[in-house]
Structure 1
Amino acid sequence: MAEEVKLLKTWSSLFGLRIVWALKLKGIQFDSIDEDLANKSPLLLQYNPVYKKVPVLVHNGKSISESLVILEYIDETWRQNPLLCQDPYEKAMARFWAKFGDDKVLSSIWSVFIKQGKEQEEALEVAMENLKLLEENLKGKKFFGGEKIGFLDLALGWLANLICVLEELSDIKIIDKERFPLLLGWMQEFSQAPIINESWPPHDKLLTKFQIIRENQLKLAAAQPT
C-alpha cells in the first residue's frame, strides 16, 4: 500500500522549505499544496486547528505541525540518509542551535531589515553577535552536521537565500568574507547542492514580496508616537 505524504506550505515559507529539502533528501514522494494564508483552506484548518499555520505534514492521514518537529518526525520515520546523528549530545546540540536560529538569529536579522537609524544599528550589532556564534560552530566542518547536509543545515538553510534578498533590499551587507568566511562558505556550499538549489523560490518574486513587507513595516514604525 502506497504511503500518503502531503505537505501544506506557502510558496515562500522559510519553514516549509525545510520540509521540502528533508523529504527530497530522504527520497520520499509527496504532494505539495501551497496555501493562501489570507484565505486558509478547510484542509489547513482541519490538519492544524491549533495554530492554523503552515507547514503541516500529513502522513497517512495523520498531521504533524511545526517545522523542527516535522524534521524530527521525518528522520525517525524514514531512516535512510539520517539527518540527526545518533550521539545523544550531538543530537541535543543540533536541536539547541536550530532553536537558537529561529528564536535569535532570524528575529535579529529581521529587526535589521525593518528598522532604520539608531534602532537599525543596534539591531545589526545583535545580529552580528548571533552570527558569530554560528561561525564558531562551523570551525573544522563543511556543514553544520559535518561532511554532509544534516538537521541543523536544513534548520538554518534560510540563511543561504533570505540573507541575499534582505541585503539587496536594505543595502546592508550582513554576511561577508571578511567577518564570516566560514558562514559564507557554508551558504555557498549548501545553496549549490542540487536538491537544495532546485527548490528555492523565484528570487524576483521574493524580492517583491519582502520589499512590500519592509515598506509596510517602516510605515507602521513611522506612524508610532515617539
Structure 2
Amino acid sequence: TDQEQSKSATQKQRYNATFNLIQNRNQTSHTMDELKLFGFWPSPYSRRVIWALKLKGVDYEYIEEDLPFNKSELLLQYNPVHKKIPVLVHGGKPIAESLVILEYIDEVWPHNPLLPKDAYEKSEAMFWAKFIDENTGPMWGFFQKFGEEQQKAIESYSEILRKIEEHGLRDKKFFGGDQIGIADLVFGMVIHMLAPMEEVVGYKFIKADSFPRLHAWVKHFSEHPVIKDNVPDYTKVVDFMKIRREFYRNSQQNS
C-alpha cells in the first residue's frame, strides 16, 4: 500500500542519514587522529620521539627532513620559532621540542606510561630527563673540539655521567625502574649518537670499569626489542659522523 511504501521510504532515509552520520564521524575522527612526525634520521632528538611512539604502539607517518640546508616549507610552517626538528603534528596541530613532545605523547596515549603517576616520582623523572637533555654540551664538545679543549670536554662530560649514574640511575635497571621511562629515552643518545662519536674519535666514556651501572644500562636499553628494532644502521651513523668530524677539523684549521 501507499502507506507501507511511505513508511519503508522513511526508514530508508533514516538508515541513510544514520549511515552518513557515522561515516562523517569516522572521517572526522581519522582527521583528528592523523599523526605525522618530522625528523632527521641521525638526530637523537627525533629518535627519542620515534622510540616513544613505538613503545606506545601508535601509528604515525614519518617525514624525513633534508637537513641542515633544505628545510621544508611545512617544517618552517609548523615550527616557525625554532625551525628545528622534531615536530609532531597531531590532527593538524604542531607540537615542537622533543621533551614537550614526549610529555604530550604520554598524556594522549597513557598506556605503557613513560612517566609515573605519583607527583613526586613524576617530578624526579622530569628532573633527570631535563638534566640529561641540558647537559649534552660537553658531549658535543668532545666530538667538535681538538687538543686541550677536547680534553676539557672529556673531563666535563665524565663528571656529568658520574652524577647521572650515582644520583639518577642509582641501582635501577632503567631510570624508570623496571620499565623504560622518559629519562631513558633522553639518555638513549649514548647508544645512538655517543657510541659512533667515540669510534670516530677513538675514546670511550662508558666502560665497565669506569661506569659499571651505566654500562649495564646500555646493555639493557639497547637489547630492548623496540629500541633494537628502531635504531639507524650503526655503520651509516659512523660514516655520517666521520664527515662531521672532518668538517669541524677544517673549520678549526681555517679559523
Shorter chain as normaliser: what TM range? over 0.9
Task: Output the CA distance in 2 between the equivalents of 1:17 and 1:214.
Answer: 21
Tell me the alpha carbon deviations over residues 91-129 of structure 1, each in whole angstroms, 9 at most, x when there is no partner. Answer: 12222222221221x211111112222222211110110
Partner amino acid, structure 2, of 1:22 = A
Structure having the higher Rg: 2
Deviation at residue 140 of structure 1 after TM alignment: 2.1
1:79 matched to 2:73? The reply is: no
- Root-mean-square deviation (CA, aligned residues, Å) is 1.2
Q: How does 1:125-136 map to 2 (within 5 A)?
A: 125-136=155-166
Percent sequence identity over aligned pairs: 48
Match of 1:48 among 61, 79, 100: 79
Tell me the alpha carbon deviations over residues 45-74 of structure 1, each in whole angstroms, 9 at most, x when there is no partner. Answer: 221111111100011111100000000000
Task: Output the CA distance in 2 between the equivalents of 1:161 and 1:27.
Answer: 21
Task: Output the CA distance in 1 between the equivalents of 2:62 and 2:141.
Answer: 31
Give the number of aligned pairs.
223
- Which residue of structure 2 lines up, in the alignment, with residue 95 of structure 1? 126
1:69 matched to 2:100? The reply is: yes
Give the secondary-structure state (helix, strand or coil) at the position aligned to 1:49: coil
Match of 2:39 among 2, 6, 9: 9
Deviation at residue 223 of structure 1 after TM alignment: 2.7
Deviation at residue 169 of structure 1 after TM alignment: 0.3
Task: Output the CA distance in 1 between the equivalents of 2:208 and 2:34.
Answer: 44
**Does structure 1 conserve the Cα–Cα contact (< 8 Å) formed by 2:44 and 2:192?**
no
**Does structure 2 conserve the Cα–Cα contact (< 8 Å) formed by 1:108 and 1:126?**
yes
Q: By percentage of residues, which structure has more helix?
A: 2
Give the secondary-structure state (helix, strand or coil) at the position aligned to 1:63: strand
For structure 1, the 5+ residue unaligned runs are none
Q: How does 1:133-144 map to 2 (within 5 A)?
A: 133-136=163-166, 137-144=168-175
- Which residue of structure 1 lines up, in the alignment, with residue 17 of structure 2? none
**Does structure 2 conserve the Cα–Cα contact (< 8 Å) formed by 1:83 and 1:150?**
yes
- Which residue of structure 1 lines up, in the alignment, with residue 88 of structure 2? 57
Match of 1:213 among 230, 236, 244: 244
Partner amino acid, structure 1, of 2:81 = V
